[in-house]
Amino acid sequence: MLRRMRRESAKQVGHRDTWDTGEVLAELPSGGPIDLAGLFGNARPVECEIGCGKGTFILARAAARPEVNLLGIEYARSYCRYTADRVRRQRERLAAAVHDPRRTPAGTHEAYEHATRNAHEHATHDARKHADDTALPPAASVRMVCADAADVVARLPAGSLIRMHIYFPDPWPKRRHHRRRLIQPPFVQTLQRVLRPGGELLVVTDHLGYFKHIRRVLTDVPGLARIAFPRMTDADGECVGTNFERKYITQGRAFYSLARLRYTIACGRPVRR
């Protein structure tokens, strides 16, 4: 297996085997399709983030979209366990806040209610069908998997994802290492299969060379249409709100984003379901 997402130093999260990952860290069975309904315990729509790092984005996304399941794939064991522990702690903290406002840190209860209202206002039609059975605190439906991303995505059922997030993947800048890049034609074909009609692929990178490579790979791919990149955070000056993005903003780096919509063809016209 190849490590395809860039890494920060493991010293930044420490070397601990005592992270309490609860049910957030999932162990996938070897071989065969992945049963997402069994993994999450429900049939809600699923979004996936590849390369979660310290989990900043997936935590914020869980708060913004409590009506969807979030699958996080992280190759580095220390980061995967660290993120799973963060998710568990946030879930327990917000669950306690909802049931006992006196234990709520300043602003947390209001932020939870606002995030829940905002998520339902912007929910997809498919997500709304499951709204009645999603009375759970943010981060309740996050699962982390420690594995190679390409291997996991290849095992996902067809049409199982409503959105794929890939932010700041390892650019592997040396020419002899380009084959290790995650986004290659075979991987894009896999994404075509696992994204449902109307599903989105969102990519952000700070590496111009990798951006040009990704744009070339995605050019004229049947079933993927170019769309405007949706903002994933409310923070000023940020696009997606990951740790890497915040770090690179302070360094003055430029960012390059791509967004594609999965569609089907009916009667000679693209159809977004």
Helix (H) or strand (E) run with residue 166 in it? strand 161-167
Q: How far is CA 148 from the centre of its chain?
A: 15
d(CA 273, CA 270): 10
Label residue 184 left, alpha or beta by phi (over 0 means left) and psi (-120 to 50 means alpha): beta
* CA angle at 145 for the pair 143 and 151, rounded to the nearest 5°: 130
270 HSE (CA, 13 A, CB side): 11
Q: 271: helix, coil or strand? A: strand
d(CA 171, CA 256): 12
Catalytic residue among 85, 133, 148, 170: 170
Asked about 234 being catalytic, the answer comes back as: no
**Residue pair 119/65 in contact by the 8 Å Cβ criterion:** yes
Q: How far is CA 254 from the centre of its chain?
A: 22
Would you name the residues annotated as active-site residues?
170
